[in-house]
Amino acid sequence: MTIRPFYEPRILEMRIEKYAEIAVDAGIWLAGEMLEQGIRAKGDFLPDPRYVYKPRQMEAAIIELSHISEGLRHRIFAAGFLKLPNNGAQATLHRLLETHTEMLHVAFRIEWKRRHGKMAGAASHRTLRRGSNLQLTATTIGRRAMTPAQK
């Protein structure tokens, strides 16, 4: 027997900048989990929610995200947000993706550059193993992070 609540839960609206801030953090977490767990042939990737607030492989994830296209990076941000433990805002983000996509992408771009623009520039001066492995990893993260509605 299921007991219905006495009230209807409501999603509190946030400014779009807050969605972008959470999505960038979630995208870094998702990319870090992908790097930590490695690429599996079966595709049974499940990010570990225990590391949401302290992402594993954070620096490597930021470097990977800085070397992929902006569109793919934004899809990873959105997918990371949607893979977070249920916080009540996933439905609102879905609505924003459908109705205000361009505005959300601008907010993603601004938040990424505000927080990681300098770090991404400094990371390019490091000795990185470039080539097909880096591109494969970044592309795989984006494909696995995309939800069926985004494909």
pLDDT at 127 over 80: no
* Chain segment 9-27, per-residue pLDDT in tens: 555 578 899 999 999 999 9
pLDDT tens per residue, range 46-56: 888 899 899 99
Residues 107/19, Cβ–Cβ less than 8 Å: yes
pLDDT of residue 6: 66
Alpha carbons within 13 A on the beta-carbon side of 131: 4
- CB 34 within 8 Å of CB 57: no
Which of the residue ranges 5-14, 35-44, 95-104, 117-126 would you say has the lowest mean pLDDT?
Answer: 117-126
Q: What is the pTM of this model?
A: 0.70
Q: Where does 84-131 have alpha helices with state H?
A: 90-99, 101-123
